[in-house]
Amino acid sequence: AANPPDLFRNRLVLMVAGLLVVAVLVRQFLAVSENRMLVTAVAEQALRDPLTGLANRARFDERLEHAMRLRERDGSSVGVISLDLNDFKLVNDNLGHAVGDELLIGVAERLRHAVRSVDTVARPGGDEFCLLVSGGADAPHLVADRVAQAFDQPFVIAGHELPMRPSIGLAI
């Protein structure tokens, strides 16, 4: 029978080898955990508008599809509120894209406060926003009223008072 060399019978060498194996396994575990977190973060970013943090078109479509399946199953009401900002192009052209971006962020914040936690607010692009409202038959109308009221006060951005009015559509 072959015997291992004397070097491998030394306790110190065996302990160092064991520690190295443990260190490599811990490092691999940390790398896998970090990769999972990164994949989750990228997947989440892929469904969010990078400027406003709202849902993007893909997430909105996903949630709308889910709401329609629930409607078929439960008969629950589904409402979609669509809006775009009137004269938004004038803000970008006259005050610059930085002010336009801040305005979009402000609109997103007001819309978040106008809806319930179960509703979805999305920015498919540009100055367009969509809201998905589920629940009782009155919910879409109530949310649409709150959305309209959210624009009663002008936006104040970079020292400019911007009274914005949206065009709003509601489908139930």
State the catalytic residues. 127
**Strand spans (E) along 42-92:** 77-85
DSSP state of 154: P
- 49 phi and psi angles, rounded to 5 deg: -75, 125
Q: Determine the Cα–Cα distance for residues 89 and 109; give it in Å rounded to an integer.
A: 20
Sign for the CA dihedral angle at 83, 89, 95, 99 comes to: positive
Name the pairing type of β-strands 166-171 and 128-135.
unpaired
Q: Determine the Cα–Cα distance for residues 36 and 28; give it in Å rounded to an integer.
A: 12
Q: Where are the alpha helices (DSSP H) in 75-137?
A: 88-95, 97-114
Helices 88-95, 97-114: crossing angle, 10 deg rounding? 140
- 22 phi and psi angles, rounded to 5 deg: -60, -45
